[in-house]
Structure 1
Amino acid sequence: MTKQTALIVDDEPDIRDLLEITLTRMGIEAYTAPDLASARSLLAQHQPNLCLTDMNLPDGNGIELVQWIQQNTPNTPVAVITAYGSMDTAIESLKAGAFDFVSKPVELPRLRELVNSALKLSEPKLQPAEENDEPGLLLGESPQIRKLRNQARKLARSQAPVFISGESGSGKELVAQMIHLQGPRADGPFIAVNCGAIPSELMESEFFGHKKGSFTGAIDNKPGLFRSADGGTLFLDEVADLPLAMQVKLLRAIQEKAVRPVGDSQEIAVDIRILSATHKNLPELVQEGSFRQDLFYRINVIELAVPPLRDRGDDIPLLASHILGRIAREYECDPARLTPAAADRLRGYDFPGNVRELENILERAFTLCDDDRIDAEDLHLGGGVAPGGSFSAEAGNSDSGAVPVPEGEIDLEGYLESIERQAIEKALEATRWNKTAAAKRLGISFRALRYRLKKLGME
């Protein structure tokens, strides 16, 4: 097996010696250079698996070396050594294409983590490949989706925080998953959290964990999301919904790469990559004062924009085929296909809800279509009452008229599901559990009944 190699660039002999000893003990052969000119020469000769460079060099700076490597040896990940507390410099190096950064004085455990992550990029499966989507998440052949896949693949090789912007339902979490799966953290956890779904009073505990007995209800130790994502990726969806008080604590955790659980006096180091997203206009929220500017700059080192579905209409048939296949497998039904008229109808639709809306439209059409063919009228686009395959009064109880609605607050989804369940049960009992006859009695297709039985867990 070929020995891993690294280039160390620093004008201080003591730092070079420390880094060389550390890498040698890790089984890595190290070359050293005191300046930019020597570094470029050694890079051209040896093509190392990793480069560590100081920011301040006699004949230039580390940013220049990062840019040179991006142009001449792009397969070599480069990490920059920055002065303590110089976060602006670190962010600048990440934007220039650095894999990661480490601050002086160099903490050897942190350095070893960085080196191990960087060396994973030399593994064959993480080398730049042809224009594809190895995890099979970002489907489509439009120029917009090809560009997005290419950008995501490049960003997967970095540890830079990425802010993913795009409309609701456009697939921002899928982009985050692709970045995770194509990077050196692919073997680690991918933890996704919707920041808007956590009650403000529980946020600190959810993110950072807590110690047993730290507050009423804390009956066990809890690691929290940051520690659960250790060694992997933490995806903060709808990050704009974080309250200001939590934004301060989040910023500190990201900068210090450590968290302090509620009720604990010690900070715990974490090794995670932060990806974030929102459908809101984050720069506008910064101007309004509802989102901290320092946190915005920290999570928005690199921005990746996800195109809306209406801008890539040629991808709709491929997406639709994939979605319909998944629905058929999930509900153990025969697959359905779009007629040319249905495909044309979808291509001409605006999709304000993007891919998520396409999924909902197809799932509904799947239950209503006949003969495994989804025609244009099965899609029910362009207004009118959205069909849910709703039952007539006689399907559930022929003696009743309008469905009674309980007084006070109700769980609408649960209430409607209970009505649907009762109607199906009565239809099955009336037909002695003949599903074909029950479907006819309910006024829906046999496919729709099978779908609902599976969905409601009534099989």
Structure 2
Amino acid sequence: MSHQALIIDDEPDILELLDITLSRMGIESHRAPDLKSAKLQLKENHYDLCLTDMRLPDGNGIDLVKELQTSKPNLPVAVFTAHGNMDTAVEAMKAGAFDFITKPVDLELLRQLVKSALNASHNKTEASSDSEHLIKGESDQIRELKQKIVKLARSQAPVFISGESGSGKELVARSIHQQGPRAEKPFVAVNCGAIPSELVESEFFGYRKGSFTGAQSDKKGLFQAANGGTLFLDEIADLPLDMQVKLLRAIQEKAVRAIGDSTETKIDVRILSASHKNLPQAIEDGTFRADLYYRINVIEVLVPPLRQRGKDILLLTDFFLNQFAEETQLPKATLAPEAKTALENYDFPGNVRELENVLERAYTLCENNLITQTDLQLAPIKHNKISKIETPSNPSPPTKSTNAYDGSVSIDEYLEEIEKEILLNALEDNRWNRTSTAKALGITFRSLRYRLKKLDLDND
């Protein structure tokens, strides 16, 4: 059975062009020159896709979008807008439009839009499984979040995901991608604050061979890598102002130009973004552009902090403990009653990421597979220093990582290197006898084994 589409436009030439284009894609199209005839056809026929102009003789296409959100919520509706009229496009997507395309119509972009819309129309039954897999929790806040993700996945509207650090913003972005029509295409995530300012443009848009010193071959940018899929811009507030201008243009024009290239490349990318910062405040401070904010924040999703999720804390705890046991092939640890109470009463300023780190440390240090309140070490840490390991036999201190942290690598990589050297030196001092090494370091044999596996030092 072929797909059916309804095209609504008062220009006969546009209707003819779209009809021909869709028929070549194997799609049967019906035409309507105004809202009245369109509504009649929508009552009489089933459609997999609707394409409508914004300005019609008897009304506005946005009104139809709003009406269909109630009467036919699973019907993807794309709107045509005049070139450069992004405010109208944003208004339509806020009303529930699947996507927009500017006039004059770019047929390549139209085909990509139609394919995405048909995928969205016919993949609704698979909706919630990926969200259930990625986002753990049964609290009211998480149930509401999952329901919103299902709705957002059907649209192509840019989504801004706000929330505290460690609350799971990237998981929300991945869930939106996996439940939408782009699920089989790339999901490209980038931390905007981790890219040096002088490299941001080349990372986003790519470059051509010879465009600057060191450009010895063509390189695709993040937009090209995500073409057909989703580009997730994490910590978007950290982008330099000059790059914000170029990003805005890429979103509006649906095209990018690589450094050293004379022509633009059309791109079909859904933009999801996130930040733990207050963007309206950043706009007032002059560090974030208001026009970019309104383009990326067509729809906003707030990820609740862990302290507001009640019973999810213990549910997540069980998930992480199962994960640690599976990764290390060691027995699963359990929580003592007072440890459960301590977790439930803790604020978790670092949210889910902090819970995972707390449990990983406790899992490593606990005795007899039982995590006590002491193992959790939930007291606030006032000083960000590396604790000295006290050992009964006073083994020789490591001789390598004596330089102060200089910021050349991430702090996690730096600490891992220190831990590796401590373990290797202790193993050498004890002739690679693990029992003696664990005793010398003042840790359990289980803890030593876990650390060796974690740092890829276990060759058994």
When normalised by structure 2's length, the TM-score is 0.93
- Aligned partners of 1:320, 1:389: CA distance in 2, in Å? 26
Structure 1 residue aligned with 2:395: 397
1:405 deviates by 4.4
Matches within 5 A, 1:401-420: 405-406=402-403, 409=406, 416-420=415-419
**Residues 1:100 and 2:135 aligned together:** no
Indicate yes or no: 2:236 matched with 1:244. Answer: no
- Equivalence for 1:153: 150
Separation of aligned partners in 2, 1:375 and 1:388:
23
Rounded Cα–Cα distance in structure 2 between residues aligned with 1:369 and 1:49: 57
Structure-1 residue corresponding to 2:82: 83
Instruction: Please say if residues 396 and 427 of structure 1, whose CA atoms lie closer than 8 Å, have aligned partners that are also in contact.
Output: no
Deviation at 1:393, TM superposition (A): 4.5
Aligned to 2:197: 200
1:13 is displaced (CA, Å) by 2.2
Matched residues, percent identical?
60
How many angstroms apart in 2 are the aligned matches of 1:103 and 1:206? 27
SS of match in other structure, 1:163:
strand
Alignment partner for residue 189 of structure 1, among 183, 186, 189? 186
1:126 maps to what in 2? 124
Q: Cα 1:24–1:145, aligned 2, differ >3 Å: closer, same or farther?
A: same
1:350 aligns with 2:347: yes
Aligned pair partner of 2:224 in 207, 227, 230: 227
The alpha-carbon deviation at position 9 of structure 1 amounts to 1.1
Kept in 1, the 8 Å contact 2:186–2:226? The answer is: yes
Distance 1:254 1:408 in 2: 39
Q: Structure 2: how far apart are the matches of 1:402 and 1:421?
A: 12
**Deviation per residue, 1:26-78 (Å, 9 max, x gap):** 11111111221221221122120000111111221101110111100111100
What's the CA shift for 1:401? 11
Asked if 1:330 corresponds to 2:330, the answer is no
**Which amino acid is the alignment partner of residue 184 of structure 1?**
P
Other-structure match for 1:139: 136
Residue 61 of structure 2: aligned partner: 62
**CA 1:57–1:409: 2 relative to 1, 3 Å:** closer
Alignment partners' CA distance in 1, 2:126 and 2:413: 48
State the shift of 1:247 in Å: 0.6
Cα separation, partners in 2 of 1:121 and 1:349, compared to 1, 3 Å: same
Match in the other structure for 1:167: 164
Instruction: Report the more deviating stretch, 6-15 or 109-118.
Output: 6-15
How many residue pairs end up in the alignment?
455
Query: Deviations along 1:245-281, whole A, 9 cap, x unmatched?
Result: 1111111111111111111111111110000010000
Give the superposition deviation at 1:455.
2.1
Give the counterpart letter for 2:65 in structure 1: V
The one of 366, 371, 378 aligned to 2:368 = 371
Structure 1 distance, partners of 2:354, 2:116, is 38
Query: Which residue number corresponds to residue 283 of structure 1?
Result: 280
* Uncovered stretches (5+) of structure 1, i.e. residues with no partner: none
RMSD of equivalent CA atoms: 2.4
Quote the Cα distance in structure 1 between the aligned partners of 2:334 and 2:388: 23
1:435-446 to 2 correspondence within 5 Å? Answer: 435-446=434-445
Relative to structure 1, the CA distance from residue 416 to residue 145 in structure 2 (aligned partners, 3 Å threshold; closer, same or farther) is: closer
Contact 1:389 1:444 in 2 (8 A): no
Matches of 1:39 and 1:53 in 2, distance apart? 9
Q: Give the deviation of 1:334 after TM superposition.
A: 1.9
> Cα offset for 1:132?
5.8
CA distance 1:109–1:404, shift in 2 (3 Å) = closer
User: Residue deviations 1:77-125, cap 9 Å, x none?
Assistant: 00011112111111000000000011111111111111111000122x4
Query: For residues 22 and 325 of structure 1, do their structure 2 counterparts lie closer, same or farther at Cα, with a shift above 3 Å needed?
Result: same
CA distance in 1, matches of 2:436, 2:39: 78
- Specify whether residues 405 and 26 from structure 1 end up closer, same or farther in structure 2 by C-alpha distance, changes over 3 A only: closer
Aligned residue type for 2:180: G
TM-aligned CA distance change 1:95 to 1:41, over 3 Å: same
The Cα shift of 1:433 comes to 3.4
- Distance in 1 between residues matched to 2:225 and 2:393, nearest whole Å: 48
CA pair 120-416 structure 1, distance change in 2 beyond 3 A: closer
SS in 2 for 1:313: coil
TM-score by length of 1: 0.93
Partners of 1:388 and 1:370 lie apart in 2 by 23
Gaps of 5+ in 2: none
Q: Which residue of 1 aligns with 2:259?
A: 262
Deviations 1:342-370 (CA, angstroms, capped at 9, x unpaired): 12211100011111111110110010111
Shift of 1:330: 2.2
Q: Which residue of 2 aligns with 1:310?
A: 307
Give the letter aligned to residue 26 of structure 2: G
| Per-residue deviation, residues 187-226 of structure 1 (Å, max 9, x unmatched) | 1111111111111111111100011111112122110111
Superposed displacement of residue 134, structure 1: 4.1
